[in-house]
Amino acid sequence: MQKNVDGRDKPGHDANSREKKMPEITVSMAEGRTDEQKAGMMRDITQALVKNLGVDADAVVIQINEAPLRHKMKGGKTFVERAAAAKK
């Protein structure tokens, strides 16, 4: 008999398991939002996971990774360059 090496043979792995894993969400975004905006977004994400995954809000971990606008690029231009071009 071949041993299952990817963990599917371990207890708690099947779809019917009552075990609920901690959802951990990372949001990557350009800096510039207020603390209130970020807190509101994280509350909304938490509630979406509670509703759709059936987890407790206390199990949800959310982390925001922010980058300066000069460190993010879209379409070959940094966000600073894009903002300057939009003002012209």
Phi and psi torsions of 49, nearest 5° = -70, -40
- Spatial separation of the C-alpha atoms in residues 1 and 21, rounded to whole Å: 30
72: how many CB neighbours lie within 10 A of its CB? Answer: 16
Is 23 part of the annotated catalytic residue set?
A: yes
70: how many CB neighbours lie within 10 A of its CB? Answer: 12
Of 53, 66, 67, nearest to 24 by C-alpha is 53
Catalytic residue among 10, 23, 65, 67: 23
Give me the active site residues, please: 23
